[in-house]
Structure 1
Amino acid sequence: MDFTKISDQLLTLVTLYGTKLLLVVVTLIVGLWIIGQLVKFLSKLMNNRHVDRDVQPFLLSLFSGLLRVLLLLSVASTLGLETTSFVAIIGAAGLAVGLALQGSLSNFAGGVLILIFKPFRVGDLISAQGFTGHVDAIQIFNTILVTPDNKTIILPNGPLSTAPITNVSTRNLIRVDMTFAVGNDNDLNATRASVQKVIDACPYALKDQTHDILVNHLNDNGVAYDVRVWTKPETYWEAYYYVQENVASQFRTDGISGQKNAVLIRQA
């Protein structure tokens, strides 16, 4: 065995590929360290944003996996390997999966955006996609609403994250708008005083807010009053029905005529 010839060949290989191998090792070590730091930063960011802890491991593993694939492609390119075919295969596979799961991926992305930016939280009263209810759960693909009549509504997160949302709970108070109609023969101040008695007695009307009793319009048939009562979002319907029932009763007690034609209208 010619050891001299073998040593010359090894020396040649080291000369040709030693620098590349060293660069590959350094790239792997530094790249993995950077990926680890980025994952830690993302984890800290999600904790500060109060992202659901059940979702965090999945997002972190997805982020880490993508970065590792990019690192391996970079290493392969450093070694002189042809990466075009690998990129093409990965791209084709990603396109096929994306097309097959287009709706699910849209809902997933929407769920991530909702969990990160929190346009609403569990327990909030919101109106979205034509439905109004309290948020019961925010899942990765869907958001669960419970309507005032105790129906469960499942809304996909994709459309929910891109469409307008009315979050009633953000300000921690909501105005209940109502309209009452009485006869023309009633004194305006007496009618206002009758309605004010009901508002003052309403346990759901906020005492630190100014409630309105305004004349909407007058005609030959009677006078319409706009009544605006401030309450908590969770007691909207309680305030609504309390005022409706007790205004009718108070009108009878105070002799306000036309109470049978009184109408209470909830306005959006």
Structure 2
Amino acid sequence: MTHAHTPIALTIAGSDSGGGAGIQADLKTFSALGVFGTSVITALTAQNTREVRAIHDVPPAFIADQLNTVLDDIHIDALKIGMLSRPETITTIATILRDRGLRNIVLDPVMVAKSGDKLLADESVEALRSELLPLATLITPNLPESAVLLGAPEATDTDAMLTQARELLALGPQAVLVKGGHLTDSASDDSADLLLMDGQTHWLPAKRIPTANTHGTGCTLSSAIAAGLARGRDMHTAVAEAKTYITAAITAADRLQVGSGHGPTHHFHAWW
């Protein structure tokens, strides 16, 4: 009897003890979208909906052990990379990914938590730019992250978003998705993201949803894209479907009562 292929995705990211972002959000997203999830933990955070109280970095050698052990046994259809706080961690992961020839790499350059706590050391930005961006199939920065990666002021309108997307693409990734949730130039309630790939520009509009429960939205979006790629979607379809999923998850976020700060999105909004 022939069994259907099981789509499998890998998340390389930090753990969020509050459950709303990081590894926890990624695995919930994979599961919600019909993909088996595997993981490599890069850091442990003491975190809730209000703050990141402490970060414990996993030693690079053990990160390598986790990653190699997974890859030695399990075929990975797509992977998502999130929180990488130290240059040594970035170099370790980049070396293995190059040696293994992995594809469908979605890089979410996580730098600051929703609480405002910094998650990426300053010295790690150059390592991220030079080591991982050229390996990425897609990068998914928001506007503040785009500005840090480029050493430029934060974009405040759609023209600046497009300029920065082109500059990011020149750093080596195959495609760039710049998230426009921080855009301040519009009087409307739109929150458009910009996908730049294969020389084409795709705007992905969505209504801005009035809720404070947006913890883990970036993690969830990038892992949803990885899930789509793992299921064989082309990039544009994977991004569009992920945008629909995260919009629904944010819309349903207020159905959850978790913590007293920035609560999580509702990953399982379609089930409970």
Q: Same fold (TM over 0.5)?
A: no
Larger fraction in helix: 1
TM-score by length of 1: 0.20
TM-score by length of 2: 0.19
Higher normalized contact order (CA 8 Å, seq sep 6+, divided by chain length): 2
